[in-house]
Structure 1
Amino acid sequence: MSMRPIIVGGGPAGMAAAIELVNHGQPCTLIDEASRLGGVVYRGPLRQGVTLDYLGERYRDAMQALHAEFSKVSHAVEVKLNTRIVGGEAGQWLYALNEQEKVEKIDFEQLLLSAGCHERSVPFPGWTLPGVIMLGGLQLQIKSGVVKPLGRTTIVGTGPLLPLVACQLHRAGADVQGVYEASSFGRIAKETLAMLNKPQLFLDGLSMLAYLKRHGVPLHYGWGVVEASGQQEVQEVTVAPYDDNWTPDLNRAVSLTTETLAVGYGFIPRTQLTQQMGLRHAYDADGFLKPEINGWQQSSEAHIHLAGDIGGLRGGEAAMLSGRIAAQSMLKQSGAISAELAEKNRQRYLTELKAVLRFRVGIDSFTQRGSGQLTLPREDTVICRCENALRQDIDSALEQGVQDLISLKMRTRVSMGDCQGKMCVGYCSDRLREHTGKADVGWIRPRFPLDPLPFSAFQTETEEA
C-alpha cells in the first residue's frame, strides 16, 4: 500500500493540496486525466504563443501564482498525467487507465478526490441537433485559439458563465447575436448584498455586462429557450419570456435564425467515483447528488478527503482553499504536523473560504432553477441519448407507479449507456422529485468501468498468456 497520499485531480484543489503536503514534508502522488495540470478552466492552449486572456486578469494571475508555487515543490510530487481513474473501492484501491492505455491498480492509505464537475444537461426539443453545444464545450473551443463557432451564436441558460463566454466569443471575433438569461433581473438585484462579499468578483461581473452593452450584444433577463429546429443541423432557435418558475410564455415567443446554440445551466459535481466507492451522499437543494463532507473536507470515510467542485460548485478560489484544508487533515492524520497546528491553519483558510461561500449563496439564489423547464421536452424529445429513451417513456413509467431512480432505470433503460446517466439522470431525478414530492428518490450507483476502456487495456503481456 502506498504511504504517499494520492490526489486525484490536478486542478486548483489538487495542486493546492499537493503544495501544502510537500511544504510540511509529505511527498505525494498527483493523478490527472489531462496532459497538463491546472484543471478544466485552464485547459485548452497547448501551443506556444496562445495567451490565457480568456481567464480574466484576476483569475489568470491567481492560476499563474499557483503554478509558480507548485513548481517549487514539484520535485516531491509524482505527477501522473494522461491517467484516468475508471473505478475504485473505498478503503482499498483505485483502478486507473494509464498513459500506456493499461489498467493499473493503485493502493492508497490516504486519498484526496478533487475530480471537479460536469455540465448540467437540460433537454428541450432539438437539443440533440448538431450545432447545439454546451457552454463549457464552446468555451474549450475558444481556449484552443483555433476553433470558432459557426455563424451567428445564440447563448441561453443561466449563471455568470453566460456573459463571460459571450465576452470571450466577441473578443475572438465570433458573431454573438444575443444572451438569454432565464432568471429575472429582479433576482440578481435582490442578491447584490450577498455578492458584495467578494467586491472584486462583483465588479468583474459588472465589467462584463458593460462590455456587452458597449459592443451591442443584447442581454435579455427572464428569457429562455423553448426549442431548436433544423434539418441536418440547428438553423433556428425559439426563445420566450419565462415567469419566476421558468415556464415560457409561448404567446410572446420569438424565433431567431442561428448557426450555433450555446446552452449553459451550470455545473454539477462529478460524483461517479465517490458513488462507486460507496461514500455517503445526499441530495443538494438544487437537485444534484453530492457526497457528505465535514469541516476537514473528510468524506464518510475519514481517510478519503474531497475538495473542489466535487463538493459543490464554488469556483477556483474556493477549490484552492478546500484543497489546503484537506491537506491539513491528511497531515494531521499522518502525524506530520500537530493537531494544534492543523487547526490553526484550517481556521485561517476557513476565514477566507467563508467570504467566497457568502458570495456563492447570492449566485446560487439568483440562478435557482424553476420547475417549468421540466415541461420543455415534448413527448418525442430524447431524454437519454445513449439509450434513446423519450419523454413519453418517462411519463409512462411515472403513470405506472415508478417512485425511484432504480425502478425508472429498469423500466426505461435511462443511465444504462456509456455515460452512465451523466446526461439524463438530472432530468429524471427532477421529474421523480416533482412527481413523488420526495426530496430523495434514490440514486444509481455507477458500474465499473466509469468510462469505456480500449481493448488494449485488457491485452496481456504475452500471446501465450
Structure 2
Amino acid sequence: MSGHPVIVGGGSAGMAAAIELADAGVRCTLIDEASRPGGVVYRGPLRAGVDLGYLGARYSKALGKLHTDFAARAQSIDLRLNSRVVGGDDRSLVVLDEQEQLQPLAFEQLILAAGCHERNVPFPGWTLPGVILLGGLQLQIKSNVVKPLGTTLIAGTGPLLPLVACQLHAAGAKVAGVYEACAFNRIARQSLALMNKPQLFLDGLSMLAYLKLHGIPMHYGWGVVQARGEGELAEVSVAPYDDAWRADMTQVRRESVQTLAVGYGFIPRTQLSQQLGLAHGYSTDGYLRAECNVWQQSSLEHIHLAGDMAGIRGGEAAMLTGRIAAVSILQQRGVLNAAQAIERRERYLGQLAGIKRFRSGVERYTARGPAQVELPQADTVICRCEQVTRDAIDLALEQGVQDMAGLKMRTRVSMGDCQGRMCVGYCSDRLRAATGRADVGWLRPRFPVDPVPFSAFKHVGTEA
C-alpha cells in the first residue's frame, strides 16, 4: 500500500501511534501545531537545562521515556511542527505549514489525535485579566516559562485541582486554597472505582497530605461565584454549593488574590472530525464527540481516533488508544495478520480497562450540577468573540428559540474566530434546561477551523 499514514496531533497519543508504526517498519507523517511534540501533558520545558523536579519523579520519568523512545525512531517519522490542520475531507487535509502557507496533504489512513480544550464556565468577572483556565496554568508550570502573579486561588472540580495546587506550591508560587465544587461524600462514594488505579488513588491521597502539610486549605462543596477588580483581578467570591451546584449567597466568602485558576474538565476537539464527515454522538455531559469502535476506527474505517478525541482519560490511556489505532492501520496495510492484530489489541485493551473504570468514577463525582448555568448575571458576557451577554440569550429563549442554530442566528453566539469553543457549552446547557430536550443540535465548524493569514492563500489556485 502506497502513501504514509498521517497522524494529526503530536501529544502522547500521536507519539505512541508513531512509535508503534515505526517499530513495524511503517513510516508516518505527524503534524502538530506546537514547536515541540508531547502535547499539553508531555511537551516539557521550552528551554534546555530546566529542572522539573517539582513535578515529581514519576512524571519526569514518563516524560523522558516518551521523548527518548520517539527520538530513537526519528528516521521513520516525518515530523512537521508549527503546522496546523485547518480543514479537509475524508481523503485529504489542508495544512497551514510553518511558513504559514496552505498545503494539501492526501492520506490513505489517518489518526486524529487532536486533543481537547477546556470547558468554559461563565460567571461574573470570568473575563478579567488574572482569571485563567486550570489547564493553561498547568501548561505554564510544566513549560517553566512564567509563574502566576501573586497569590493564586484554584476552583472547579476534578483531580486536576489538587495536582496543580501541589505543583504550583512546589514551583515556588503562593496558593490561597483549593475549592472543589463536589461534596466530599460524593467523592468518597466512588472509592471502589478509583481503586482500579491504586497508584493514582495513592497519588491523590499524597497530594491531599501535601496540601495539609503546607497549610493550603482544601474546601469541598464550595465554588466560585464572582471575580472582581478594576482592570485586573483583585478579589474572588466563593460560596458553598448544594448538590445541584446552587450557591448559597448568604455564606459568601471573599479572598484577595491576583490569580484565579478555574477548571471544570475538558471537551474533545471535534472541529476537524466534523469537517471530515465522521459520525458523532453526545457524551453524558451533553458535549459532542466522534464515535469509534474497539479498533479506534471512526465511522470511516481508514480514519481513526486516539487520545482525548476518543475519551478524556489522561496521558496513559491516550498512549494506549494511539497504539491500538496504529495496530489497526498495520492490519489494514497487511503488516499484521488478523490474529496478530487482535492479540496485540487485546493486550492494550486489557491495560486500558482499569483506566476506564477509574475515569468512570472520576466522571461521576465531577458531574456538573444543573444550577451552574445560573452563575452569570444579566450583563455577564457569554460569547467573548461577539460580546453576547446572558440577557441576550435569555431573550432568545423567551422568544422561542429551540436549538443551537436558532440561537446562533438570533444572537450571533459562536460566529467569532473560536467558532463556539468558548460559549457553545453554556449555550447548549441553557437550551437543554429551557426545552427539556437532550439533543438541541450542534454547530458544524466552517473552513478554516482556525484563522489563517491572507498571505497563506498567495499560491492557492494560481498557475505555476
TM-score, with normalisation over the residues of structure 2? 0.97
Correspondence for 1:29 = 29
Q: After TM superposition, give the deviation of residue 52 of structure 1 in Å.
A: 3.0
Q: After TM superposition, give the deviation of residue 463 of structure 1 in Å.
A: 11
Q: Classify the secondary structure of the residue corresponding to 1:232.
A: coil
Q: Classify the secondary structure of the residue corresponding to 2:73.
A: helix
In the alignment, structure 1 residue 363 sits paired with structure 2 residue 348: no
Correspondence for 2:68 = 68
Cα distance change of structure 1 residues 388 and 4 upon mapping to structure 2, 3 Å threshold: same
Correspondence for 1:184 = 183
Q: After TM superposition, give the deviation of residue 60 of structure 1 in Å.
A: 2.8
Aligned residue identity for 1:79 = L
Correspondence for 1:374 = 373
Q: After TM superposition, give the deviation of residue 44 of structure 1 in Å.
A: 5.2
Render the CA deviation track for 1:12-33: whole Å, top value 9, x for unaligned. 1111111111212211111111
Cα distance change of structure 1 residues 54 and 444 upon mapping to structure 2, 3 Å threshold: farther
Cα distance change of structure 1 residues 102 and 412 upon mapping to structure 2, 3 Å threshold: same
> 1:316 & 1:56 partners in 2: Cα distance?
16
Cα distance change of structure 1 residues 314 and 461 upon mapping to structure 2, 3 Å threshold: closer
Correspondence for 1:426 = 425
Cα distance change of structure 1 residues 4 and 366 upon mapping to structure 2, 3 Å threshold: same
Correspondence for 2:174 = 175
Aligned residue identity for 1:207 = S
Q: Which is further off, 403-412 or 57-66?
A: 57-66
Whether the aligned pair in 2 keeps the contact of 1:2 and 1:108 (CA below 8 Å) is: no
Cα distance change of structure 1 residues 342 and 461 upon mapping to structure 2, 3 Å threshold: closer
Cα distance change of structure 1 residues 244 and 463 upon mapping to structure 2, 3 Å threshold: closer
Cα distance change of structure 1 residues 56 and 310 upon mapping to structure 2, 3 Å threshold: farther
Correspondence for 2:3 = 3
Q: Which aligned pairs between 1:204-353 and structure 2 lie closer than 5 A?
A: 204-353=203-352
TM-score, with normalisation over the residues of structure 1? 0.97
> 1:108 & 1:463 partners in 2: Cα distance?
23
Q: Classify the secondary structure of the residue corresponding to 1:118.
A: strand
Q: After TM superposition, give the deviation of residue 327 of structure 1 in Å.
A: 0.8
Render the CA deviation track for 1:177-205: whole Å, top value 9, x for unaligned. 11100001001111111111100011111
Q: After TM superposition, give the deviation of residue 70 of structure 1 in Å.
A: 2.0
Q: After TM superposition, give the deviation of residue 53 of structure 1 in Å.
A: 3.3
Q: After TM superposition, give the deviation of residue 71 of structure 1 in Å.
A: 2.4
Render the CA deviation track for 1:76-132: whole Å, top value 9, x for unaligned. 111111111111112x21011101110100001100000011110000000001111
Q: After TM superposition, give the deviation of residue 285 of structure 1 in Å.
A: 0.4
Q: Which is further off, 79-88 or 41-50?
A: 41-50
Q: Classify the secondary structure of the residue corresponding to 2:72.
A: helix
Q: After TM superposition, give the deviation of residue 464 of structure 1 in Å.
A: 11
CA RMSD of aligned residues (A): 1.7
Q: Classify the secondary structure of the residue corresponding to 1:165.
A: helix
Q: Classify the secondary structure of the residue corresponding to 1:45.
A: coil
Render the CA deviation track for 1:445-465: whole Å, top value 9, x for unaligned. 001111111222122399998
Q: Classify the secondary structure of the residue corresponding to 2:88.
A: strand
In the alignment, structure 1 segments of 5+ residues that lack a partner are: none
Correspondence for 2:125 = 126
Q: After TM superposition, give the deviation of residue 222 of structure 1 in Å.
A: 0.2
Whether the aligned pair in 1 keeps the contact of 2:38 and 2:44 (CA below 8 Å) is: no
In the alignment, structure 1 residue 45 sits paired with structure 2 residue 45: yes
Render the CA deviation track for 1:211-268: whole Å, top value 9, x for unaligned. 1100000010000011111111111111000011100011111111111111111111
Q: Classify the secondary structure of the residue corresponding to 1:231.
A: coil
Q: Classify the secondary structure of the residue corresponding to 1:177.
A: strand
Render the CA deviation track for 1:38-60: whole Å, top value 9, x for unaligned. 11112351212112335432233
Render the CA deviation track for 1:59-83: whole Å, top value 9, x for unaligned. 3322322222222322111111111
Q: Which is further off, 55-64 or 289-298?
A: 55-64
> 1:462 & 1:414 partners in 2: Cα distance?
32
Whether the aligned pair in 2 keeps the contact of 1:54 and 1:143 (CA below 8 Å) is: no
Q: Classify the secondary structure of the residue corresponding to 2:347.
A: helix
Whether the aligned pair in 2 keeps the contact of 1:156 and 1:225 (CA below 8 Å) is: yes
Correspondence for 1:113 = 112
In the alignment, structure 2 segments of 5+ residues that lack a partner are: none
> 2:233 & 2:354 partners in 1: Cα distance?
42
In the alignment, structure 1 residue 449 sits paired with structure 2 residue 448: yes
Q: After TM superposition, give the deviation of residue 136 of structure 1 in Å.
A: 1.3
Q: After TM superposition, give the deviation of residue 347 of structure 1 in Å.
A: 0.5
> 2:354 & 2:150 partners in 1: Cα distance?
41
Correspondence for 2:85 = 85
Cα distance change of structure 1 residues 461 and 448 upon mapping to structure 2, 3 Å threshold: closer
Q: Classify the secondary structure of the residue corresponding to 1:60.
A: helix
> 2:363 & 2:256 partners in 1: Cα distance?
31
Q: Classify the secondary structure of the residue corresponding to 1:173.
A: coil
Aligned residue identity for 1:233 = E
Q: Which aligned pairs between 1:129-148 and structure 2 lie closer than 5 A?
A: 129-148=128-147
Alignment length (residue pairs): 464
Q: Which is further off, 50-59 or 76-85?
A: 50-59
> 1:353 & 1:201 partners in 2: Cα distance?
14
Render the CA deviation track for 1:138-183: whole Å, top value 9, x for unaligned. 1222223242211121111011111111111111221111110000
> 2:253 & 2:281 partners in 1: Cα distance?
39
Cα distance change of structure 1 residues 156 and 26 upon mapping to structure 2, 3 Å threshold: same
Aligned residue identity for 2:459 = T
> 2:153 & 2:410 partners in 1: Cα distance?
36
Cα distance change of structure 1 residues 463 and 332 upon mapping to structure 2, 3 Å threshold: closer
